[in-house]
Structure 1
Amino acid sequence: MNKKIIIAIDGYSSTGKSTVARQLAKKLGYIYVDTGAMYRAVTLYAMKQGYIGSDHFYKEALENSLPLIHIKFEVNPKTGLAEVVLNDKNVEKEIRTLGVSRLVSPVAAVSKVRKKLVEQQQLMGKDKGIVMDGRDIGTVVFPDAELKLFMTATAKDRAERRYKELVERGDKVTYEDVLKNVVNRDHIDSTRKDSPLRKAEGAIQIDNSNLTLDEQFQQILDLAQNTIG
């Protein structure tokens, strides 16, 4: 496998994009970048500064603060996985809460936020050998990626997976709240003006409603290996 490629994985929330992208990168010896985590980190910053809440969003204040937001990924030596660091603090656990999930889509819809993060993401992929997942990787960040995937599943299946994940982590949530969040994020992500969620030209759709994690991974690994040649 001497030829390195860019693998762009887009799709709806809670379709397991990050899990399969992480597995794939590890198997191929590629770098993995979770772009959703970057938007979550910006959202967490905005929440802590009081710029966004359930009943308000001071968009201009967030835009003015963008030069103060520094995001990077550091590998956890115990797990071998990349974790998000916001302004020198590891926020991997904080960004995964339902509170952040509820507010990340409006933050991700802000053009200046997207511009800042897309520039960072494109720099990360300049040497190829990268697996990146998000909402606009194949359409905006890397439209020339050698392999583009678009992951989907029913809202019900996605909500059930996300609910189980949150409960196992100890979060106190209801299934109804998680389902509402999934449906709401789908709507915001698909209808925003800047880089709406859509299947990229040439992307292969993976509907994992009825696939096990192993079946999904094998299908995607086969596609990657065939593309690499």
Structure 2
Amino acid sequence: MTTKTQVAIDGPASAGKSTIAKIIAAQMGYIYVDTGAMYRAITLAAMQANLIQVGQTAVDETSISNLLANVQISFAPSEQGQLVFLNQVDVTEDIRQANVNSLVSVIAAIPAVRTELVERQRQLAATSSVIMDGRDIGTTVLPNAQVKIFLVASVAERGQRRFAENQAKGIDTDLTLDEIKESIARRDYLDSRREVSPLKQADDAVLVDTTGLSIDQVVAKITDLIKQKIG
């Protein structure tokens, strides 16, 4: 491609952002940038360094900032999907566990973390046509993206999706559906009220509600929106 295309997909947890972004990236030949995985990887690194543990709502931000210099995050394709590496160690499944889920919003709210990862994400977008999903892509990371989508779904449906995904992957199978819904609602609250880059719809983003829609239906809808915007 001679012109780099930027597609930003924002929305709350378990709205289907990553699933949809991966499919569209493969179909359209874009690079998929999983920003959520990047924040999860930082969270896991902080846990491994004993800088945060389950139940904490505040951390030593200086220690977390110092940790960033020693954290390398990379992605690689595989037959099972995109793999996530933390300092060259495969953490694809580790970063999806309940303990990381419960802490990622705390780490993501730290200004130094957001500044560092936003810069890394912008560097990726400057070299390739990308589709990037997260909480603040259209508002902060890629404010000039040609296409901006804000993907939502009801808490009930998002809880069902996360519960089914956990059961299929054999992770966090001890969590009840109600516990997962409560966790999602709590993360919505934290993400939308943090001081730095809160979760919100960009003024020029298109709202897409995935409640009751199949993956194929959402993919088709967003693909049409992309084609309308960029031809």
- Using the size of structure 1 for normalisation, the TM-score is 0.95
What's the counterpart of residue 200 of structure 2? 198
- The two structures, once aligned, show a CA RMSD in angstroms of 1.3
Q: Which residue type is aligned with residue 14 of structure 1? A: S
What's the counterpart of residue 165 of structure 1? 165
Q: What whole-Å deviation, never above 9, does each CA across 1:184-222 have from its counterpart, x for those lacking one? A: 100000000000000012000001112111111100111
Q: What whole-Å deviation, never above 9, does each CA across 1:161-200 have from its counterpart, x for those lacking one? A: 1011011111222112211110110000000000000001
**Partner-residue secondary structure (3-state), 1:211:** coil
**Partner-residue secondary structure (3-state), 2:196:** coil
What's the counterpart of residue 184 of structure 2? 182
What's the counterpart of residue 94 of structure 2? 94
What's the counterpart of residue 66 of structure 2? 64
**Partner-residue secondary structure (3-state), 1:53:** coil
Q: What whole-Å deviation, never above 9, does each CA across 1:97-122 have from its counterpart, x for those lacking one? A: 12111110010000000000000000
Q: What whole-Å deviation, never above 9, does each CA across 1:46-100 have from its counterpart, x for those lacking one? A: 1111111123333332122111111111222x34x33211111111111111211
Does structure 2 conserve the Cα–Cα contact (< 8 Å) formed by 1:4 and 1:228? no
CA distance in 1, matches of 2:116, 2:86: 15
Query: Pick from 66, 77, 89: which aligns with 1:75?
Result: 77
What's the counterpart of residue 142 of structure 2? 142
Moved more, 205-214 or 114-123: 205-214
What's the counterpart of residue 212 of structure 1? 214
CA distance in 2, matches of 1:31, 1:59: 31
Runs of 4+ in 1 over 4 A off after TM superposition: none
Aligned sequence identity (%): 40
CA distance in 2, matches of 1:44, 1:194: 21
CA distance in 2, matches of 1:140, 1:96: 25
Structure 1 residue runs without a partner (length 5+): none
Q: Which residue type is aligned with residue 105 of structure 2? A: S
Does structure 2 conserve the Cα–Cα contact (< 8 Å) formed by 1:44 and 1:100? yes
Q: Which residue type is aligned with residue 192 of structure 1? A: R
Does structure 2 conserve the Cα–Cα contact (< 8 Å) formed by 1:3 and 1:228? no
Q: Which residue type is aligned with residue 138 of structure 1? A: G
Does structure 1 conserve the Cα–Cα contact (< 8 Å) formed by 2:54 and 2:99? no
1:228, CA displacement in angstroms?
Answer: 2.2
What's the counterpart of residue 17 of structure 2? 17
What's the counterpart of residue 223 of structure 2? 221
**Partner-residue secondary structure (3-state), 1:205:** strand
